[in-house]
Amino acid sequence: MPAATIIEAQPALPGDAAKPQVVHLTVDAESAGQRLDNYLIRQLKGVPKTHVYRIIRSGEVRVNKGRAAADTRVQTGDAVRVPPVRQAVRTEKPVPAREFAVLFEDDHLLAIDKPAGVAVHGGSGLAFGVIEQLRRARPDARLLELVHRLDRETSGVLLIAKKRSALKHLQEQFRERSTGKTYLALVAGDWPERLKVIDTPLHKYLQGDGERRVRVVDAAHPDAMRAVTLVKVRERRDGCSLLEVTIKTGRTHQIRVHLAAQGHPIAGDDKYGDFDWNRRLQKRGLKRMFLHAWRLQFEHPASGERMQLLSALPADLSWPSPAVTPA
């Protein structure tokens, strides 16, 4: 059994019993390899995720006495200093247990067909997501951890690790870009056959209201992140194109921003899309963004076998009527 996480609180001064104290954590073997933000979210029960990210960005969280970013991978024995934070008493309703359609399952991993409209985890005003519901539905599972993420609006293949060794192996594949992630997207217009590769940097920023957005920037931009998207036309009809989109980098909103920047927004995209077209699509039955995680390729974490999982287009995604093709 790995050593338990060690939590040491600074001694409180007389009269300060109710005040939160500095906490020192020692990363155990079971937690090694996790992102710092995910590690802290699990350790600081009752602390809002927004506050966890705030104390990381401010530099108040220290790993081995140094500043660390949210995506820093903690290792066994790392000393993590956490500033005083108040852990709110949870008053939310209990997480409802829920199982999802299973595409593949064995002792190492679980692949589900995630429906649209369900976040993969709680946070940002959401009390729970897929992973919390699965844990409630499977109370005897020793471990259930997200290997990667999908946007709330996106449906399709989602991988969940059932062993820590599988989680590390699969996440390493995602970091090294050895997985194959292909989506189906319906876009406005006739996608150019010659445009097969989009290699355009992206920049993530916050709007004045705090909402996260992404835009295409020049490579010289100080915060530019390289993003590569491969596009193949599957079908053309009624002034639209159904695309197979494979991402070689996993940037936030990458597909949505890359396609929209080429003048071909995704149908139903409420952030980067054609809003007038979207309204007409809604009247014809398209109630959400037409983006679906269709295929995922990876090596099995135990056997090394190359696997391919497919998720068919769900019933709520279909070609729009010719009456609502883009103007």
17: which 2 tokens? 């019993």
The percentage of residues in the chain with a pLDDT greater than 70, rounded to a whole number, is: 89
Domain boundaries 176-315, corresponding CATH code: 3.30.2350.10
Residue at 278: amino acid letter: N
User: What is the pLDDT averaged over residues 117-127?
Assistant: 82
**Maximum Cα–Cα distance across the chain:** 74
Which residues are catalytically annotated?
Answer: 151
pLDDT at residue 88, as a whole number: 58
DSSP 222-282: TT-B--EEEEEEEEEETTEEEEEEEESS--TTHHHHHHHHTT-PBTT-TTTS-HHHHHHHH
Q: Over 90: is that where the pLDDT of 267 sits?
A: yes
Domain ranges in the chain are 6-12+19-82, 102-172, 176-315
Q: Residue 233: its pLDDT value, please? A: 97
Span 64-84, average pLDDT? 93
Which residues of the chain form beta strands (DSSP E)?
6-9, 23-26, 62-63, 66-67, 79-82, 102-105, 109-114, 145-146, 155-161, 180-188, 197-199, 202-206, 212-216, 228-237, 240-247, 291-299, 306-310
* Terminal-to-terminal C-alpha distance of the chain: 62
Task: Say if residues 243 and 237 touch (Cβ distance below 8 Å).
Answer: no
Of 156, 98, 174, 90, the closest CA to residue 130 belongs to 98
pLDDT at 140 exceeding the cut of 90: yes
Tokens 């067909």 locate to 113
Per the prediction, the chain carries an average pLDDT of 88
Question: Which pLDDT does position 236 carry in this prediction?
Answer: 93
3-state class (DSSP) for residue 67: strand
pLDDT, average across residues 274-278: 95
Q: Please answer whether residues 51 and 58 qualify as being in contact, where contact means their C-beta atoms are separated by less than 8 angstroms.
A: no
Q: Using an 8 Å Cβ cutoff, are 218 and 254 in contact?
A: no
Whether 38 shows a pLDDT value over 90: the answer reads no
Nearest in space to 99 (alpha carbons), one of 42, 139, 138: 138
Residue 5 has pLDDT above 50, yes or no: no
Q: What is the pLDDT of residue 14?
A: 44
Please say whether the beta carbons of 243 and 231 come within 8 A.
yes
The residue-averaged pLDDT of 156-169 equals 96
pLDDT digits (tens, 9 = 90+) for 215-248: 999 999 999 999 999 999 999 988 999 999 999 9
- Among 16-25, 130-139, 197-206, 301-310, the minimum mean pLDDT is found in 16-25
Task: Name the residue type at position 99.
Answer: E
d(C-alpha 120, C-alpha 150), whole Å: 7
CATH number for the domain whose boundaries are 102-172: 3.30.70.580
Of the listed ranges 118-127, 249-258, 274-283, 311-320, the one predicted with least confidence: 118-127
CATH class belonging to 6-12+19-82: alpha beta
* 91 or 213, which is more confident: 213
